[in-house]
Structure 1
Amino acid sequence: MIGSIEPPGRTIDFPSQQVKNEQVPRRTMSGLGRRGASIVVRELTLSTPLIRSCHARPFSVFNRPQPKYPGHVPLTFVERGALAVGSAVGSLVDPWRADLIAACGEATATPYFIYRLRDAMLSDPTGRQILRDRPRITSETMPLTYLRSLPENSVGRTYAAWLDREGVSPDTRDNVKYIDDEECAYVMQRYRECHDFYHAVTGLPIFVEGELALKAFEFLNTLIPMTGLSLFASVRLKPAERERMLSIYLPWAVRSGLGSKELINVYWEKILEKDVDELRTELGIERPPDMREIRRMIREQKKREKERLAQATA
């Protein structure tokens, strides 16, 4: 402590220098009294810089910590809440805004849910290997020319066929930026990039009805809140679509979502040549009725009814 009286031969530590009190005998110091001792201490500290306790400013809008990984955007509690509400409402109004859906997923995944998913990976040998390797799913790591050359019913061929049928690319996924923990950010990125594999394995299309069915399945498998919140978009469905959702696809999502293994632990890059039916059996996923085929049959039925009505009135 600055100014403390030490026995002869001991050293008083100062921030910038060390001052020995060997020249000030103990008897002399004790005889100076309280006033004299304070004068000596003041003289000893004149040449020492004044130390002031400096506390770091708290995290605020105007004082953000350094990003923890490329693209990271630290958020305050209020900002995270506003982002969650705003992106949820925006994605409900426009379900095709993938950026809003991604932001809602990140804002609502912390502080608990993304850690639960990370822990599920840490508790599984394959999940731990994925976290060590940190593979990315892009058009470069998943070249379509190679995937199309795989056996007919393989996972990779099924994935490529689904991408071709739906007209989408693995490069359309936004990078994670609102999750603070760097490892958890990768877990969210991995889930996001594997989403199309879930589509391919289940055969569900990308229009709203198919996305909602898959989101219900994902919610029960991953517990990510955004996937559950997405179900509010069912208000946009037509009556016939809502009826199919409630009677066919929601019961399927409950059965498969609760009964299947954690899909986040599937190392898709290593099972591209595996038979997709065998994979479904291993994962405990029941393939739902073909949504596109159901819609096609309904359209044809309506068309025949119109033609029959037109003939009757002719």
Structure 2
Amino acid sequence: MGIMVRGLAPAWRALRATVSLTTGLPKQFSQSFNIVAEEQEGDGKFSTDGPEPGILYPNHIPTNTLQKLLLSAGSAVMSLYDPYRHDMIAVLGETTGVQALRSLREKMSNDPEGIQILQERPRIRMSNLDIERFREMPDGAFGREYARFLDVNNVTPDTRMPVRFVDDEELAYVAQRYREVHDLMHTLLGMPTNMLGEVVVKWFEAVQTGLPMCLLGAVFGPLRLSTKRKKKLIELVPWAVQSGRNARCVCSFYYEKRWEQSVESLRKEIGILPPPSIKF
């Protein structure tokens, strides 16, 4: 019981923030969840100095099949209830996407640029980015448009959840890389961070990655859209799907070396079709 509780603690913290799941559970079981959750609050990082047995990377929480099933079910429910719960979407992707992550790793391993990424393992974080330099780049440059996206939508790459439940160190990096290039996809696809933009990006990513969480967001996301925005999907979704099929693996591009490249030329290189002219 103690192992299961410890493995589920991060998801439990997120789930209990929105809805109480303790009703009907034995009091001792519920209290154990809360105790472990409080113990793990901190910065969410595991020390790499003398890691515990089974800990493969910082933040890793080993889980067995039953624990993953429970995490998958709980995070899926919460993701459908509130599509903006990125923490729950992250848990869902980690517990259901192992095969898709293996496929992504294989694609990266078959690409020279992808191999370099797997070897060097770059991270897209504010501490690694010169945002002020990006803002001084000419309009249309990838770095300039990415900085504009961050400024307009008031987001940073540091808001992405760390990977925790992937029980393979290299696959965990692939999952983290996918997560960190998500905002770059918004930039290249020209999509805002509202629900309409997220649904379009999820359709693109679902075709690209095969991750179940992407398909879930693509299918159920439109339920939260107004009738007016649903009509825009009629034109946007076919374009996103076609672009996803046409594009090379988006995780195989070393974006950190392409900030000065124009968005237009990078789109062409990746295989993203020109986006439709639609006002958001």
Interval of TM-score (by shorter of Structure 1 and Structure 2): 0.7 to 0.9
- The count of aligned residue pairs is 232
Aligned positions of 1:136-215 closer than 5 A? 136-215=123-202
Q: What is the alpha-carbon distance in structure 1 between the residues aligned to residue 206 and residue 6 of structure 2? A: 35
Please state whether the residue corresponding to 1:140 is helix, strand or coil.
helix
Q: 1:150 to 1:216 in 2, by over 3 A?
A: same
Structure 1 residue aligned with 2:55: 67
- Counterpart residue type for residue 145 of structure 2: T
Aligned positions of 1:3-18 closer than 5 A? none
- Counterpart residue type for residue 242 of structure 1: K
Q: What is the alpha-carbon distance in structure 2 between the residues aligned to residue 284 and residue 162 of structure 1? A: 21
**TM-score (normalised: structure 1):** 0.71
CA contact (8 A) 1:259 1:284 kept: yes
1:83 aligns with 2:71: yes
Q: What is the alpha-carbon distance in structure 2 between the residues aligned to residue 97 and residue 171 of structure 1? A: 16
Q: What is the alpha-carbon distance in structure 1 between the residues aligned to residue 66 and residue 103 of structure 2? A: 23
CA distances 1:66-95 after superposition (whole Å, capped 9, x unpaired): 211121111111111111121111011111
Q: What is the alpha-carbon distance in structure 2 between the residues aligned to residue 290 and residue 206 of structure 1? A: 17
Report deviation, 1:233: 2.2
Q: Please tell me the root mean square deviation across aligned C-alpha atoms, in Å.
A: 1.6
Q: What is the alpha-carbon distance in structure 2 between the residues aligned to residue 244 and residue 151 of structure 1? A: 30
Q: What is the alpha-carbon distance in structure 2 between the residues aligned to residue 107 and residue 116 of structure 1? A: 15
Q: What is the alpha-carbon distance in structure 2 between the residues aligned to residue 205 and residue 224 of structure 1? A: 21
CA contact (8 A) 1:260 1:283 kept: yes
Q: What is the alpha-carbon distance in structure 1 between the residues aligned to residue 209 and residue 6 of structure 2? A: 34
Please state whether the residue corresponding to 1:61 is helix, strand or coil.
helix
Structure 2 residue aligned with 1:34: none
Report deviation, 1:98: 1.2
- Counterpart residue type for residue 123 of structure 2: R
Q: What is the alpha-carbon distance in structure 1 between the residues aligned to residue 200 and residue 271 of structure 2? A: 17
Identify which of structures 1 and 2 has the higher relative contact order when contacts are C-alpha pairs closer than 8 Å and 6+ apart: 2
Any runs of at least 4 consecutive aligned residues in structure 1 with deviations exceeding 3 A, and if so which?
60-65
Please state whether the residue corresponding to 1:241 is helix, strand or coil.
helix
Q: What is the alpha-carbon distance in structure 2 between the residues aligned to residue 221 and residue 131 of structure 1? A: 18
Instruction: Please point out which of 222, 229, 243 is paired with 1:241.
Output: 229
**TM-score (normalised: structure 2):** 0.79
CA contact (8 A) 1:99 1:174 kept: yes
Report deviation, 1:257: 0.6
Structure 1 residue aligned with 2:95: 107
- Give the percent of matched residue pairs that are identical in Structure 1 and Structure 2: 41
Report deviation, 1:61: 3.4
Instruction: Please point out which of 209, 225, 230 is paired with 2:217.
Output: 230
CA contact (8 A) 1:204 1:290 kept: no
CA distances 1:144-190 after superposition (whole Å, capped 9, x unpaired): 10111223211111111111111111110111010010000000000
Report deviation, 1:62: 8.3
| Unaligned segments of structure 2, at least 5 residues | 8-52
